[in-house]
């Protein structure tokens, strides 16, 4: 079918007159006969682009056709067009089949880059200006949804509208998240800005909130005195120290739990809230922890211990001593010719 289109000079002349920048052709109608020959093209030179007055008179009740309607908008290739395929209900079945089979070929020859929209109609209302506007509205409308999909969309919209932050209580898959009190939020904010260096957080098991226990500027050796021996705690410390002649500030998170000195419920809640609390501090406050650690007794929290955790001693691996090979497992040894001759002489002497 493509070869048939190539040998129709009137077709190419009509297409050239349409896509030419200097042409004033608004509508071009292509009609194919049953023997697949092209009928005379009817270009209309119009000054006022009135859609219904130019398109609808070209339609016949029993004759299918293709219509290219030029818009005033342009792209990088030139004017843009509406491609209309008119296939009336009372047309012959063979005609409908011929037009359906040549539709894609004609669009390719005309140039897909010039076609902005496509319309298909069996009655004039479908390809009128009102029908074209309905086509644009349907293209811009959201896709049809089932009742189940609509309910899921409503549930999703309600869920995304809920405010979630540091002061919101929420349960997640990896643990339980308790909201921070205002004092705790203010203390963490001061630590993030550098106003203080140490924040100690505790859980209120009855109210299920994270409270502030200590929030001040302290040295590493003084933190152990603030840690209770019978309760668990969370510690956020900005450790300022020197390492290899360089001044460093390392933000660390320490979880202290004195073993069986505190109740089972307290140990479980502190362990479950640790992960979500770290996520809250990192995501909501922008804290970046260099290291996360755990201790059992308050006496373990010392300056030397903290320095060793951040800068562990580098151990040089010693070369292992290779075991000697077993007898008879070595490579084959070569004998010199002199040794061979000597051996032969000794055998003769014997």
d(Cα 166, Cα 146) in Å, to the nearest integer?
A: 37
Q: What is the pLDDT of residue 35?
A: 38
- Per-residue confidence band for 235, with pLDDT thresholds at 50, 70 and 90: very high
Which of the residue ranges 13-22, 48-57, 64-73, 171-180 would you say has the lowest mean pLDDT?
13-22
What distance lies between CA 90 and its chain's CA centroid? 52
Strands (E), 97-153: 115-121
Q: What is the pLDDT of residue 232?
A: 93
- pLDDT one-digit tens code per residue, 255-277: 999 878 888 889 899 999 999 99
Average pLDDT for 314-337: 65
Burial category of 259 from C-beta neighbours within 10 Å (exposed 0-12, middle 13-18, buried 19 and up): exposed
The answer, yes or no, to whether residue 149 has pLDDT greater than 60, is yes
Q: What is the pLDDT of residue 146?
A: 84
Backbone angles phi, psi at 186, to 5 degrees: -65, -40
- pLDDT one-digit tens code per residue, 277-318: 999 999 889 999 999 999 988 889 999 999 999 988 877 666
The answer, yes or no, to whether residue 28 has pLDDT greater than 80, is no
More confident residue, 153 or 112: 112
- Helix and strand element counts for the chain (H, E): 10, 12
Average pLDDT for 181-199: 93
Q: Which of 51, 86, 85 is nearest to 71 (CA)?
A: 51
Using alpha carbons only, give the angle 19, 23, 27 rounded to the nearest 5 degrees: 70
Q: What is the pLDDT of residue 53?
A: 82
Average pLDDT for 188-198: 93
- Per-residue confidence band for 5, with pLDDT thresholds at 50, 70 and 90: low
The pLDDT mean for the chain works out to 79
Burial category of 297 from C-beta neighbours within 10 Å (exposed 0-12, middle 13-18, buried 19 and up): middle
- Per-residue confidence band for 43, with pLDDT thresholds at 50, 70 and 90: very low
Q: What is the pLDDT of residue 347?
A: 46
Q: What percent of the chain has pLDDT over 90?
A: 25
The answer, yes or no, to whether residue 134 has pLDDT greater than 90, is no
* Report for 5-14, 43-52, 197-206: range of highest mean pLDDT: 197-206
- Per-residue confidence band for 77, with pLDDT thresholds at 50, 70 and 90: confident
């Amino acid at each position: 079918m493509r070869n048939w289109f190539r040998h129709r000079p009137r077709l190419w002349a009509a297409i050239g007159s349409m896509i030419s920048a200097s042409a004033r052709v608004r509508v071009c109608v292509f009609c194919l006969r049953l023997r697949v020959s092209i009928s005379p093209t009817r270009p209309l030179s119009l000054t006022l682009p009135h859609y219904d007055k130019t398109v609808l008179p070209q339609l016949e009740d029993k004759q299918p056709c293709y219509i290219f309607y030029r818009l005033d908008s342009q792209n990088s290739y030139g004017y843009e067009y509406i491609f209309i395929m008119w296939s009336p209900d009372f047309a012959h079945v063979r005609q409908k089949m011929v037009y359906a089979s040549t539709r894609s070929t004609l669009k390719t020859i005309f140039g897909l880059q010039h076609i902005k929209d496509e319309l298909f109609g069996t009655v004039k209302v479908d390809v009128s200006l009102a029908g074209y506007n309905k086509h644009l509205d349907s293209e811009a409308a959201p896709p049809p949804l089932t009742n189940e999909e609509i309910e899921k969309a409503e549930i999703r919209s309600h869920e995304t509208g809920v405010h979630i932050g540091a002061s919101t209580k929420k349960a997640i898959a990896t643990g339980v998240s308790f909201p921070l009190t205002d004092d705790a939020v203010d203390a963490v904010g001061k630590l993030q800005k550098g106003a203080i260096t140490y924040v100690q957080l505790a859980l209120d098991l009855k109210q299920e909130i994270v409270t502030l226990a200590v929030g001040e500027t302290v040295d590493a050796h003084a933190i152990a005195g603030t840690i209770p021996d019978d309760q668990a705690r969370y510690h956020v410390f900005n450790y300022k120290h020197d390492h290899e002649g360089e001044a460093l500030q390392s933000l660390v998170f320490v979880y202290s739990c004195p073993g069986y000195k505190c109740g089972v419920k307290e140990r479980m809640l502190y362990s479950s809230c640790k992960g979500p609390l770290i996520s809250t501090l990192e995501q909501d406050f922008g804290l970046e922890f260099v290291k996360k650690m755990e201790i059992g007794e308050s006496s373990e929290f010392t300056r030397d211990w903290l320095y060793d955790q951040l800068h562990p001693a580098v151990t040089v691996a010693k070369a292992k001593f290779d075991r000697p090979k077993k007898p008879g497992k070595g490579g084959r040894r070569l004998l010199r010719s002199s040794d061979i001759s000597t051996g032969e002489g000794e055998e003769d002497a014997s």
